[in-house]
Structure 1
Amino acid sequence: MAINKLPPKDVVQLLKDNGINKVKYVAVGNEPFLTSYNNSFVNTTFPALQNIQNALNEAGVGDSIKATVPLNADVYGSPTENPVPSAGTFRTDISGQMTQIVQFLSQNKAPFTINIYPFLSLYANEHFPVDYAFFDGVTNPITDNGIQYENVFDANFDTLVSALKALGFGDMTIIVGEVGWPTDGDKNANINYAATEGGRRLLPKLAGNKGTPLRPGYIEVYLFGLIDEDAKSIAPGNFERHWGIFRYDGQPKFSMDLSGQQLDKYLVGAQNVQYLPKKWCMLRQDARDLSKLAENINFACTFSDCTALGYGSSCNGLDANGNASYAFNMYFQVQGQRDLSCNFEGLAVVTDQNISQPNCNFPIQIVASSSSSSKLSQVVYLAFLTASVFLSI
């Protein structure tokens, strides 16, 4: 598809015409230097950053809108022989690229953006102390030059401060582009942990402008994410589809007081949500030939979301029949409850009885809005057009 290239000023005006008036940052990719990407974006990220910031400058908005590269915390670290924040440096394999990026950000008075996920520390290391992932204090804090670190968020952030200082940019502004906790898809991903990490601990810390030992005071932080994404890649783990503070239907999962005062209140959920009829798809109780059950379950989960069935997840406790019913129902709902989507070679049947279990919800899909889809398509196209223009300059 051919894309018409617009001058940067026209793109900015196009954004304003569509009600997008409060843009502070333009993200150039997302975590492009992840080690799992095998250097795929190492040589293209910095040129893209330059192009986008230059386009913003040309459009006359470079003073108020900054281009930045959201990076994963794996771009820096401390040596194994001295694993403390003050020893932080950038990875040796990307030290040249990181130096270029940091210098360019400094020249344009743009912030360094980092994504910090305490949950991933638990996920990556089964021996990682659970209490160190939160903000309640620990029995054995890390001591670094007289400073005691009692949580991984502060230690991680200050490791970055030290890495920037090692390059001569110790005062560079840092924003946390993503921080959050998934609510399903892993033994450590649940609503209780997410509520504790976010609403009951992190937000009060931020509201109090406590900062970190090396950066006391205000820190600009963005919560991730807004809503669950049932089609997101699960290559990193099943939890990837469950970062939302809202469920798939726009309803809050747990209490969260954004003021940081720890009041027991919920965020305002989506209004006037319409659901499909109260119908579920389940394994037939009289099914006898189960020889094709496994392949039908696999089919259902391939084209829907069965991550809640994984080890340690919310529906992990179901028996074999329950697993089959959960898979069949997820596919049935994704397909808009079409009659033919609850057959599975005669193994399934539709029921009007809620087959949810105490710790496992069998959801009902929401009604799709054609008008919303149309508006979303326009926004997606506009975003794609904008990125194309910026990257082509």
Structure 2
Amino acid sequence: MSKELISMLSSRLVAVISFFLALTLVKGFEGTIGVNYGTVANNLPPPAQVAHFLLESTVINRVRLFDANPEILRAFAHTGVAVTISVPNDQIPDLTKLNFAQQWVEDYIQPHTPATNIVRILVGNEVISTANKLLIVSLVTAMETLQTALVAASLDRRIQVSTPHSLGILSNSSPPSTGKFRQGYDTHVIKPLLSFLRDSNSPFMVNPYPFFDCSPDTLDYALFQPNAGVFDENTQLFYTNMLDAQLDAVFSAMKLLGFDDLEIVIAETGWPSMGDATQFGVDAKSAAEYNGNLMRHVTSGVGTPLMPNRTFETYIFALFNEDLKPGPTCERYFGLFRPDMTPVYDIGILRPTVAAAANIQHATCLLIITVGLLIIKNHG
């Protein structure tokens, strides 16, 4: 075999392998990366169109809803997409009553399962951070009652029950090894909640947002960019990004209560692509850096300094820019996509076309056959 031919085949083989590695990395996001599908907007496409778009054009196969919208649940029927739905905060006190919980399951779950792959129900969102005493004291009982209703409907093995928390549940988070839950809530609410999650084999869910905690001096640290890092003297561990530090602070708080065996799921995190002129690091470039690096990091298997060799199920906020969200400008620009479903920036969410993949696969087969025949001819 000539050196020129070997060189040519080697170049083609390297190109093909590189392409397949890229496809593998993109495919690796599946099953781990989800998206929050918010609907606080008046210009979003119909749910059926959204479901088709996610299934056919993206690598996203997990979706979190902030309610149990029947039209959206029907749209995801027979897609296989794992859907997480939510009970609104104001329904939590009612959910402590078994008849209400059973009726809720009958109304919102049973008409859609198993056609729609509902995998988790979230009871409220950031309930402890609301400081609403009625909601807080009702939370764990509501989760237990909902679980009882799922057992009665033989859905408990299919559907988990959990609730997401803001990092406001921590009284201390820096350095990460000193993380602990707020006094009072730790033993009266969070410990029983963690016991319920362990007993029902459900994850502890958190909403970490480096965006809201960073300053101009820590922007690179928040964006997974090269930076000086943070050293935790207690553990002698070094942190190169803020998300790891936030997750390890939560882990330390859980460990303090004896629940370091529970899975942690990132229910919500993201970065806006536009904001007010007074804000720093609020642009499409920074959003692409955060969300792109986030996806690579949580799926890499590296884990965090205190939780090595883990991947984290992660839901990016949000699927679309939502024009009716209140608050500062940035609140309306967390979307990965515009309402017309064009990407705000490219982070590898969109799938390679089926045609391109098929062509490469065909080229690979031909290349392998060619190399094999040449080797046989040369050495036969």
Fold equivalence (TM over 0.5): yes
Is there any run of 5+ residues in structure 1 with no aligned partner, and where? 259-264, 269-393
Q: What are the residue-to-residue correspondences of 1:45-56 with 2, within 5 Å?
A: 45-56=139-150
Q: Distance in 1 between matches of 2:154 and 2:113?
A: 14
Judged with a 3 Å threshold, the aligned counterparts in structure 2 of structure 1 residues 140 and 67 are, in CA distance, closer, same or farther, namely closer
CA distance in 1, matches of 2:127, 2:329: 21
**Aligned match of 2:257:** 167
Q: Deviations over 1:212-252 (max 9, x none)?
A: 11112221111111001111221xx3321111101132211
Q: Does 1:101 align with 2:193?
A: yes
For normalisation by structure 2, the TM-score amounts to: 0.60
The offset of 1:153, in angstroms, is 0.2
Q: Which residue of 1 aligns with 2:330?
A: 239
Q: Counting helix residues as a fraction of each chain, which structure ranks higher?
A: 2
For the 8 Å contact 1:164–1:170, the answer to whether it is kept is yes
2:244 to 138, 154, 173: 154
Once the two structures are overlaid, the 10-residue window that deviates more, 112-121 or 203-212, is 203-212
What is the TM-score of this pair, normalised by structure 1?
A: 0.58
Structure-1 residue corresponding to 2:272: 182
Match of 2:162 in 1: 68
Task: Give the equivalent residue in structure 1 for 2:111.
Answer: 14
Deviations 1:336-368 (A, max 9, x none): xxxxxxxxxxxxxxxxxxxxxxxxxxxxxxxxx
Query: Counterpart amino acid of 1:74?
Result: G
Q: Structure 1 pair 23/139, CA: closer, same or farther in 2 (3 Å)?
A: same
Q: 1:12: how far off?
A: 3.6
Instruction: Please name the residue that 1:208 is paired with.
Output: 300
Distance 2:135 2:177 in 1: 28
User: Over residues 157-210 of structure 1, what are the superposed CA-to-partner deviations in whole Å (9 max), with x where a residue is unaligned?
Assistant: 0011111111111111111111111112242321111000112x1122123211
- 1:90 corresponds to which residue? 181
Match of 2:226 in 1: 137
Please show how residues 307-386 of structure 1 align to structure 2 within 5 Å. Answer: none
1:223 aligns with: 316
Provide the C-alpha distance between the structure 1 equivalents of 2:341 and 2:316, rounded to a whole number of angstroms. Answer: 16
Ranked by relative contact order (alpha carbons within 8 Å, sequence separation 6 or more), the top structure is 2
Report the counterpart of residue 128 of structure 2 in structure 1.
33
**Counterpart amino acid of 1:26?**
I
Match of 1:248 in 2: 339
Q: Pick the aligned partner of 2:291 from 198, 202, 216.
A: 198
> Displacement of 1:128 after TM fit?
5.2
Asked if the contact 1:76–1:160 (Cα under 8 Å) also holds between the matched residues in 2, the reply is yes
Unaligned runs of 5+ in 2: 1-98, 354-380
Range with bigger deviation, 128-137 or 109-118: 128-137
SS at match of 2:331: helix
Task: Tell me the matched-pair count.
Answer: 248
Identical columns (%): 30
- Residues 24, 66 of structure 1: 8 Å contact kept: yes
> Once the two structures are superposed, what CA deviation does each residue of 1:269-316 show, in whole Å capped at 9, x if it has no partner?
xxxxxxxxxxxxxxxxxxxxxxxxxxxxxxxxxxxxxxxxxxxxxxxx
CA deviation after TM superposition for structure 1 residue 13, in Å: 3.2
Quote the residue 2:119 is aligned against. 24
Q: What is the CA RMSD across the aligned residues, in angstroms?
A: 2.5
